[in-house]
C-alpha cells in the first residue's frame, strides 16, 4: 500500500479489505460505498485533508522518523504539542459537525508510550522499544489507529477473573512461542472499521488473579477472528432513502461498532503489555486523562450548532429579539467553558518519565465533566430557537411531490428573501445534531465517552487536596497559627500542578 496523503488516498485504502461486518442483520461486502457508513469515512478523511491545508495545526515532526506526520500519530514532546492537539480537534469539529474518530487512537498512543516506558523500567522488558518501532511504522504509512479499551464487563460487581463467562473481558486464551491469542468483545468502538490497526487495551485496574486480562497489543482491523457488528444511530436509515435534506448532515457522521474477538492472534513484536497487571490502572488513567480533555472537540461541534441556531433565527426574522441574542450568548458561554477547561488542562501539561507530555489530570476530568452537561443545554437552546417544527417537518419526498410540494414551499416560508429549502435544511441540521444520527457524536459520546460522569467525579475527588485546603482555611481563620504545619507534600503537589514551580 502506498503512503496515505490525501483524504481520497485514505478512502481508497479502505477498499478491498476482508472485513466481517454485520449491519441490520446483513453481512456488508463493501463498507466504503454503504450509505449508512460512508459519512463516517468522510469525517476521517477530513483529518488527512486538514493536515495538507493547515500543516502548522494538524502536523508535527516525528522524533522517530524525523519527517512531518499527521498530528494524530504524534507523541507529544512539548506542552505546545498537547495544546495543538486541542486546537486541531476544535477545528475538525467545526469542519465536520460530528465525531471524526481519531482521538481515541491518538490518546492511546500517548498513554501507552509512557506506560510501556515505566513497565520496562521496572521489569527490564522491551515493550517500549517495540512500541516505538510500531509507532514509526504507522507514521511512515500514515495509518489510522483505533483504540479498543471498553470491555462489555458483564456483572459489574465481579472482577474479570470472577465472571461466569470469562469472555466478558478480553483475555488471553492461548500462549505460544510466537505470541498470544485473545478472545472477548469491545463495545461501542469509535471508528473501528475506519481504522487500519486497533490497539487492544484493558479497561479497568486489575489484580494478580487477572493476569490473563492484562494484555495490550496491536492487531490489523482485518485480522482473522474479528467480527464487527455495526451500532444503530437515531434516524440512521434516512441515508438510504435517497436525497440529502432529511439526513441533516449528509456528508459527515460518526461510527460505533461492537468488536468480537475470537482467538485473534497477536505476535510477540506487537505485544506491549503481557501480564503486568499492576500497570493496567496506569494505562487506563493516563488514557482517560488525555481523552477527557480531548473532548474539546465538542466545542467545535458546538460552534456549528450555535451557527445553525443563529441562522434559523435569521431565517425566521427573529434575530433582533433580545431573548434570541441572550440564548445565543448563553450557548457561546457554555461552549467556550468546555474549550477553556480542556485547553487549560493541555497548557498545564507535564512530562512523564518517558519524556512525553501529559495533560493536567484534574482539569482534564473537569473538562469532561462539563461535557457531560453543557452540550445538552446547548442542544436544548438550539431546539428552543428552532421551534417545534424541528420535529414535525414533512419529508423531502413531500417537498418534491408534484401534488403537495408547492403547498409546503408556500406555507413553510420564513423571510421572503430566504429560499424555503434553505430554512428546511438548517432545521434538519439542528435535528440531526440534537436528536438524529450525529447526536451520538455530540450528546451520547459527551455523556459516556471516556467514562461516565461518575468516573470523572471519582478522579476529581482523588485530586481535590481537601486536607491542604482545610489547612489554608484554618491558618487564615486563626485556628492553626503555625503555617509550617500545612502539609509540605500537599503544598508541593498543589504548587507544582497549579503554578508550574518546584517547591
Task: Report the share of the chain in percent with pLDDT over 90.
Answer: 91
Give the cell for residue 350.
507535564
Phi and psi of 254, rounded to 5°?
-100, -175
Domain ranges of the chain: 7-277, 294-461, 465-498
Kindly state the average pLDDT of the residues 460-488.
81
Our answer to whether residue 161 is catalytic in this structure is no
From the candidate CATH numbers 2.40.110.10, 3.30.360.10, 1.10.4160.10, 3.40.640.10, the one assigned to the domain spanning 7-277: 2.40.110.10
Q: Name the region of 21 (left: φ>0; alpha: ψ -120 to 50; beta: rest).
A: beta
Q: What's the pLDDT at 503?
A: 47
Catalytic residue among 46, 118, 276, 445: 445
Catalytic residue among 230, 295, 442, 494: 295
Our answer to whether residue 297 is catalytic in this structure is yes
pLDDT at position 395 over 60: yes
Catalytic residue among 10, 46, 96, 99: 99
3-class DSSP state for residue 113?
Answer: helix
Report the C-alpha gap between 119 and 281 in whole angstroms.
12
pLDDT tens column, 184-238: 999 999 999 999 999 999 999 999 999 999 999 999 999 999 999 999 999 999 9
pLDDT at position 89 over 50: yes
Catalytic residue among 59, 74, 103, 128: 103
Phi and psi of 266, rounded to 5°?
-125, 115
3-class DSSP state for residue 355?
Answer: coil
Our answer to whether residue 256 is catalytic in this structure is yes
Q: How confident is the model at residue 472 (pLDDT cuts 50, 70, 90)?
A: confident
Kindly state the average pLDDT of the residues 16-29.
96
Report the C-alpha gap between 489 and 190 in whole angstroms.
40
pLDDT at position 295 over 60: yes
The secondary structure element, H or E, covering residue 174 is strand 171-175
- State the architecture of 294-461 in CATH terms: Up-down Bundle (1.20)
Starting at the edge strand found earlier in the chain, the sheet holding 256-267 runs: 26-27, 21-23, 226-230, 256-267, 179-190, 171-175
CB neighbourhood size of 184 (10 A): 25
Catalytic residue among 128, 291, 369, 370: 291
Our answer to whether residue 347 is catalytic in this structure is no
Question: Which among 100, 204, 214 is positioned nearest to 150, based on CA atoms?
Answer: 204
Q: Can you tell me which residue has the cell 452537561?
A: 373
Query: For helices 280-293 and 453-463, what crossing angle results, to 10°?
Result: 110
**Contact present, 93 and 342 (Cβ < 8 Å):** no
Mean pLDDT, the chain, as a whole number?
A: 95
Q: How confident is the model at residue 495 (pLDDT cuts 50, 70, 90)?
A: low
Distances (CA, A) of 172 to 182, 263, 270, 294: 4, 8, 14, 30
Our answer to whether residue 289 is catalytic in this structure is no
Catalytic residue among 256, 276, 396, 431: 256
| CATH topology match: 7-277 vs 294-461 | no
Q: What's the pLDDT at 489?
A: 61
Our answer to whether residue 445 is catalytic in this structure is yes
pTM equals 0.95
User: Where do runs of H (alpha helix) occur along 388-465?
Assistant: 396-399, 405-411, 420-434, 439, 445-448, 453-463
Q: What's the pLDDT at 496?
A: 67
pLDDT tens column, 142-177: 999 999 999 999 999 999 999 999 999 999 999 999
Least confident range of 334-343, 377-386, 440-449? 440-449
pLDDT tens column, 346-393: 999 999 999 999 999 999 999 999 999 999 999 999 999 999 999 999
CB neighbourhood size of 182 (10 A): 24
The secondary structure element, H or E, covering residue 375 is helix 374-386
Q: Can you tell me which residue has the cell 469515512?
A: 41
CB neighbourhood size of 389 (10 A): 15
Report the C-alpha gap between 289 and 351 in whole angstroms.
13
**Contact present, 420 and 412 (Cβ < 8 Å):** yes
Our answer to whether residue 285 is catalytic in this structure is no
Catalytic residue among 74, 297, 341, 434: 297
Report the C-alpha gap between 123 and 400 in whole angstroms.
68
Pairing mode of beta strands 21-23, 226-230 = parallel
CB neighbourhood size of 144 (10 A): 26
**Contact present, 247 and 433 (Cβ < 8 Å):** no
* 385 vs 502, higher pLDDT: 385
CB neighbourhood size of 175 (10 A): 12
Amino acid at each position: 500500500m502506498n503512503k496515505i496523503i490525501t483524504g481520497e488516498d485514505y478512502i481508497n485504502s479502505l477498499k478491498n479489505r476482508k472485513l466481517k461486518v454485520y449491519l441490520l442483520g446483513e453481512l456488508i461486502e463493501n463498507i466504503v460505498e454503504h450509505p449508512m457508513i460512508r459519512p463516517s469515512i468522510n469525517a476521517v478523511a477530513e483529518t488527512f485533508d486538514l493536515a495538507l491545508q493547515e500543516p502548522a495545526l494538524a502536523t508535527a515532526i516525528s522524533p522517530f522518523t524525523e519527517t512531518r506526520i499527521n498530528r494524530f500519530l504524534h507523541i507529544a514532546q512539548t506542552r505546545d504539542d498537547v495544546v495543538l492537539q486541542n486546537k486541531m480537534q476544535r477545528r475538525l469539529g467545526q469542519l465536520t459537525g460530528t465525531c471524526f474518530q481519531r482521538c481515541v487512537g491518538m490518546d492511546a498512543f500517548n498513554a501507552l508510550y509512557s506506560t510501556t516506558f515505566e513497565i520496562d523500567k521496572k521489569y527490564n522488558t522491551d515493550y517500549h522499544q517495540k512500541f516505538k518501532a510500531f509507532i514509526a511504522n504507522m507514521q511512515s504509512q500514515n495509518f489510522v489507529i483505533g483504540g479498543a479499551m471498553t470491555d462489555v464487563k458483564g456483572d459489574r460487581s465481579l472482577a474479570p477473573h470472577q465472571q461466569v463467562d470469562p469472555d466478558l473481558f478480553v483475555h488471553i486464551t492461548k500462549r505460544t512461542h510466537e505470541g498470544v491469542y485473545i478472545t472477548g468483545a469491545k463495545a461501542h468502538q469509535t471508528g473501528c472499521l475506519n481504522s487500519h490497526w486497533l490497539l487492544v487495551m484493558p479497561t479497568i485496574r486489575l489484580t494478580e488473579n487477572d493476569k490473563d486480562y492484562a494484555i495490550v497489543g496491536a492487531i490489523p482491523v482485518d485480522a482473522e477472528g474479528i467480527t464487527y457488528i455495526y451500532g444503530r444511530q437515531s434516524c440512521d436509515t434516512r441515508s438510504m432513502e435517497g436525497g440529502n435534506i432529511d439526513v441533516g448532515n449528509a456528508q459527515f457522521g460518526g461510527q460505533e461498532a461492537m468488536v468480537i474477538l475470537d482467538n485473534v492472534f497477536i505476535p510477540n513484536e506487537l505485544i506491549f503489555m503481557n501480564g503486568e497487571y499492576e500497570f493496567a490502572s496506569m494505562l487506563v488513567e493516563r488514557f482517560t486523562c488525555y481523552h477527557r480533555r480531548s473532548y474539546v472537540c465538542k466545542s467545535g461541534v458546538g460552534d456549528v450548532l450555535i451557527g445553525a441556531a443563529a441562522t434559523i433565527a435569521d431565517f425566521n426574522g427573529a434575530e433582533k429579539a433580545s431573548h434570541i441574542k441572550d440564548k445565543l450568548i448563553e450557548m457561546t458561554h457554555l461552549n467556550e467553558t468546555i474549550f477553556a477547561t480542556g485547553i487549560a488542562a493541555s497548557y498545564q501539561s507535564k512530562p512523564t518519565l518517558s519524556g512525553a507530555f501529559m495533560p493536567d489530570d484534574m482539569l482534564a476530568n473537569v473538562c469532561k465533566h462539563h461535557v457531560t452537561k453543557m452540550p445538552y443545554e446547548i442542544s436544548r437552546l438550539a431546539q428552543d430557537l428552532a421551534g417545534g417544527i424541528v420535529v414535525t417537518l414533512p419529508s423531502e419526498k413531500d417537498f418534491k411531490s408534484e401534488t403537495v410540494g408547492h403547498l409546503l414551499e408556500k406555507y413553510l416560508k420564513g423571510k421572503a428573501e430566504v429560499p424555503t429549502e434553505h430554512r428546511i435544511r438548517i432545521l434538519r441540521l439542528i435535528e440531526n445534531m440534537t436528536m438524529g444520527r450525529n447526536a451520538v457524536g455530540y450528546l451520547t459520546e459527551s455523556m459516556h465517552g471516556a467514562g461516565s460522569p461518575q468516573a470523572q467525579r471519582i478522579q476529581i475527588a482523588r485530586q481535590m487536596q481537601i486536607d491542604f485546603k482545610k489547612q489554608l482555611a484554618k491558618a487564615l481563620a486563626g485556628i492553626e497559627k503555625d503555617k509550617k504545619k500545612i502539609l509540605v507534600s500537599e503544598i508541593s503537589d498543589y504548587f507544582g500542578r497549579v503554578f508550574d514551580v518546584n517547591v
